[in-house]
Amino acid sequence: GVGFSAFRHGTLTIGVQRHQLKDVAWRILKPQEHADHIIAIIQTARKLNPSLPILLSVSPIPISGSFTHESVMVTDCLSKSSLRIAAEIVLESGLENVGYWPAFEAIRWLSAHCGPVFGVEDAYDHRHLATRFAQAITDSFVEFNYVREENDGCVGVIGKS
């Protein structure tokens, strides 16, 4: 996930210096802004390799802190939601050989049915994904993308039977 981004005089700014902080407004990028950046990155990468397959994903690992919202949960939700919508915008943009792998959805939505997914091996740190879930996502990804002969994109069922 991406937290807040710095804007100076209405322009996204990277590498803000301490003396510039008074001129900075902080906000989460809107989904279309994220999508525009992702598309630009894909277009740049495709200049080097026009047939490069691109796989988008949103990290299921929660943001650990927020300095603008009172709640880190609100920041995490806004950030992940914005990135997921941006990924969908990119998928709908018509770029060829671009897919999405639902690691975020597998952890955040399926976890309600599968028990604890964070802090299982390391109870004091609730940001580390349980090994069994990380392994299931990785195994599913490899099986879907590298083992099957027919590959109809980058969306599949998480978990092995």
Helical spans, DSSP H, in the chain: 31-48, 72-91, 103-108, 111-114, 131-142
116: Cα within 13 Å, side-chain hemisphere? 11
| Residues 74, 37: Cα–Cα separation, whole Å | 23
Q: What does the pLDDT look like over 27-70, one tens digit per residue?
A: 788 899 999 999 999 999 999 999 899 999 998 888 877 766 67
Per-residue confidence in pLDDT tens, the chain, 161 aa: 566 777 888 888 777 788 888 888 877 888 999 999 999 999 999 999 998 999 999 988 888 777 666 788 888 888 899 999 999 999 999 999 999 988 888 888 777 777 777 777 766 666 777 777 888 888 877 777 664 444 454 444 443 33
Q: Is the pTM of this model over 0.85?
A: no
